[in-house]
Amino acid sequence: MKILLVGSGGREHAMAWKITSSPMVDELLCVPGSDAILSLPKAKNSGVDQGDLVALADYASKQCVDLTVIGPEAPLVDGITDEFAKRGLKVFGPSKRAAMLEGSKIFCKELLLRNNIPTAGAEFYDDYEKAASALENWEPPVVVKADGLAAGKGVVVCDTRDKAREALKSMLVDKTFGAAGERVIIEECLVGEEASFIAITDGEVVLPLAGSQDHKRVDDGDKGPNTGGMGAYSPAPVLDKAMSSRVYEEIMLPTVRAMAALGTPFMGTLYAGLMITGEGPKVLEFNVRFGDPETQPLLFRLESDLASIMSAAVDGGLKKTKIKWNPQTAVCVVAASGGYPGHYDKGKEITGLGELEGLDDVYVFHAGTKLKDGRWYTNGGRVLGVTARGQGARTAVEKAYLAMQKIKFEGMHFRKDIGKKAIERP
Ligand code: AMP
Ligand code: GLY
């Protein structure tokens, strides 16, 4: 089997690592991949531009690619699945219309509210004056969200009306997010513990993956600005059996059914960002792809063949698919460049990676690195994710931090409390 993988981050390194381990897979063509991804056996550089969907489809057609797998949301929201379908090519991922679940927060919220799927109450606006005057009816804290894709920056949790007004002005008047901020949501601020519930669906059957939890803020204790994610672990004790079945019954199945009823069936990875509140699980957002960095611990625990699960989803055959997990906990701690999530420099040499090679229970997934003359250098904000597996959260966390001690680069920083919530949970 020949697979084409789009993306180049830590999530894609984990996907590539898992996919190339499959005996079903002969070749993994990467768009563009990374030096770490291209160091994997079976991985090859395609040389095609990630942003050019037509060139990508032509390339996949010429190469007789059996299945295309997408890491980030942008190609899905831009319609890669539809472009490939025109040539009879299979993509594991939703159509452009179904990808609206992530591409438009208003589309997502309307679908949730219409179908009584638990989420924060919300109102939509495209006019600053109207939005600002509506704010008077909201008791802070409130959350202001840009409708479209804003690289994770389009959500502002506001403690005061002034802050909310400022966020509304930046989106609706100053057009900070361009077209993505032409419409906005004002929504109720939910309180609880966040968790990631990721499932694979063929449009009908929903196959939940193990639960996981991300750490979005840059500093320990969930302080400081938001990042792409500073670490993750799986399983997440907050998503115990009872809570997971509630999420499946009250959120995942109804969402997949609602999408099918709209005539836009959702096939691919459906990732619910959840707040586990006193009243139960509520949807903060949907993503239409795997989470980064949740994918790193998830795939480090997955014993089943990912390529075969994704193929089954594309062919509408998930009914017979069962997933097998390593029962141990996996933890991924992200090491970031000095200054991240603000300005940072690249090109710092990374040492110590060699000491972690060949271990069975530790793997380093690269997010932003470059290989030059046999040496690794930093090449992004999030540089790498040290991922470890152990019996229970405490052991897995200890192993990950012990491994992290080997790695050094100038300016390197990482959170010291990844997995703490799992360890401390009674
Ligand atoms: P989103 O991109 O919608 O997941 O939002 C990014 C982050 O903003 C989430 O991970 C939450 O931490 C926070 N957030 C979003 N919506 C809400 C909400 N309704 N209540 C509280 N926090 C929220
Ligand atoms: N871990 C957050 C995300 O992938 O969006």
Q: Do 31 and 315 meet the contact criterion of CB atoms below 8 Å apart?
A: no
Residue 113 lies in a domain: no
Q: Is the CB of 120 under 6 A from ligand 1?
A: yes
Task: State the virtual CA torsion across 83, 87, 89, 94 in degrees, nearest 10.
Answer: 30
Length of the chain: 426
Residue 207 lies in a domain: yes
pLDDT at residue number 132:
97
Q: Do 125 and 186 meet the contact criterion of CB atoms below 8 Å apart?
A: yes
Tokens 């949740």 sit at which residue? 294
Q: Are 15 and 90 members of one domain?
A: yes
CATH of the domain at 417: 3.90.600.10
Residue 116 lies in a domain: no
Q: Which residue's CA lies nearest to atom 5 of ligand 1?
A: 155
Q: Are 282 and 347 members of one domain?
A: no
Q: How far is the CA of 28 from the centre of ligand 2 (A)?
A: 24
Ligand 2 atom nearest to 152, measured from its CA: 5
Q: Which of 320, 342, 362 is the last residue of a domain?
A: 320
Q: Which of 143, 169, 188 is the last residue of a domain?
A: 188
Q: Is the CB of 284 under 6 A from ligand 1?
A: yes
Q: Is the CB of 73 under 6 A from ligand 1?
A: no
Among candidate residues 58, 55, 51, 105, the one with its CA nearest the CA of residue 78 = 51
Residue 112 lies in a domain: no
CATH of the domain at 145: 3.30.1490.20
Could you give the CA distance from residue 320 to residue 16 in angstroms, rounded to a whole number? 24
Q: What domain range includes position 180?
A: 121-188
Q: Is the pTM of this model over 0.75?
A: yes
Q: How far is the CA of 178 from the centre of ligand 2 (A)?
A: 22
Could you give the number of structural domains in the chain? 4
CATH of the domain at 258: 3.30.470.20
Among candidate residues 302, 327, 349, 335, the one with its CA nearest the CA of residue 403 = 335
Question: Can you tell me whether residue 268 is helix, strand or coil?
Answer: strand
Could you give the CA distance from residue 174 to residue 181 in angstroms, rounded to a whole number? 9
Token representation of residue 368: 């932003």
Q: How far is the CA of 88 from the centre of ligand 2 (A)?
A: 30
Q: Which of 71, 100, 129 is the last residue of a domain?
A: 100
Output the tens digit of pLDDT for each of the chain's 426 residues. Answer: 999 999 999 999 999 999 999 999 999 999 999 999 999 999 999 999 999 999 999 999 999 999 999 999 999 999 999 999 999 999 999 999 999 999 999 999 999 999 999 999 999 999 999 999 999 999 999 999 999 999 878 999 999 999 999 999 999 999 999 999 999 999 999 999 999 999 999 999 999 999 999 999 999 999 999 999 999 999 999 999 999 999 999 999 999 999 999 999 999 999 999 999 999 999 999 999 999 999 999 999 999 999 999 999 999 999 999 999 999 999 999 999 999 999 999 999 999 999 999 999 999 999 999 999 999 999 999 999 999 999 999 999 999 999 999 999 999 999 999 999 999 987
pLDDT at residue number 23:
97
Among candidate residues 69, 85, 80, the one with its CA nearest the CA of residue 18 = 69
Ligand nearest the Cα of residue 271 is 2
Q: Which residue's CA lies nearest to atom 5 of ligand 2?
A: 291
Question: Residue 75: CB partners within 8 Å, gap ≥ 6?
Answer: 6, 50, 53
Q: Is the CB of 142 under 6 A from ligand 1?
A: no
Q: Are 86 and 69 members of one domain?
A: yes
Q: Are 155 and 206 members of one domain?
A: no
Tokens 């390593």 sit at which residue? 326
Q: Are strands 155-158 and 142-146 parallel, antiparallel or unpaired?
A: antiparallel
Q: Is the CB of 273 under 6 A from ligand 1?
A: yes
Q: Which residue's CA lies nearest to atom 3 of ligand 1?
A: 285
Q: Which residue's CA lies nearest to atom 1 of ligand 1?
A: 285
pLDDT at residue number 151:
82
Ligand nearest the Cα of residue 12 is 2
Could you give the CA distance from residue 218 to residue 51 in angstroms, rounded to a whole number? 29
Q: How far is the CA of 157 from the centre of ligand 1 (A)?
A: 7
Q: Is the CB of 189 under 6 A from ligand 1?
A: yes
Q: Is the CB of 194 under 6 A from ligand 1?
A: yes
Q: Are 206 and 287 members of one domain?
A: yes
Ligand nearest the Cα of residue 231 is 2
Contacts 24+ apart (CB under 8 A), 371-375: 371/35, 371/36, 371/39, 375/349, 375/350
Q: Are strands 382-390 and 280-287 parallel, antiparallel or unpaired?
A: unpaired
Exposed, middle or buried by CB within 10 Å (0-12, 13-18, 19+), for 60? buried
CATH of the domain at 77: 3.40.50.20
Question: Residue 6: CB partners within 8 Å, gap ≥ 6?
Answer: 12, 31, 50, 56, 68, 69, 70, 71, 72, 75, 80
Residue 6 lies in a domain: yes
Q: How far is the CA of 215 from the centre of ligand 2 (A)?
A: 9
Ligand nearest the Cα of residue 226 is 1
Amino acid sitting at position 205: V
Q: Are 296 and 361 members of one domain?
A: no
- With the most atoms of ligand 1 within 8 angstroms of its CB, the residue from 102, 105, 123, 157 to mutate is 157
Q: Phi/psi at 117 (nearest 5 deg)?
A: -90, 130
Q: How far is the CA of 7 from the centre of ligand 1 (A)?
A: 25
Q: Are 284 and 357 members of one domain?
A: no
Ligand nearest the Cα of residue 296 is 2
pLDDT at residue number 153:
83
Q: Phi/psi at 270 (nearest 5 deg)?
A: -110, 120
Q: Do 111 and 118 meet the contact criterion of CB atoms below 8 Å apart?
A: no
Q: Is the CB of 370 under 6 A from ligand 1?
A: no
Ligand nearest the Cα of residue 290 is 2
- Other CB atoms within 10 A of residue 263 CB: 8
Residue 80 lies in a domain: yes
Q: How far is the CA of 241 from the centre of ligand 2 (A)?
A: 23
Could you give the CA distance from residue 135 to residue 164 in angstroms, rounded to a whole number? 8
β partners of residue 44: 29
Residue 166 lies in a domain: yes
Q: Which residue's CA lies nearest to atom 11 of ligand 1?
A: 284
Residue 403 lies in a domain: yes
Q: How far is the CA of 315 from the centre of ligand 1 (A)?
A: 34
Q: How far is the CA of 333 from the centre of ligand 2 (A)?
A: 14
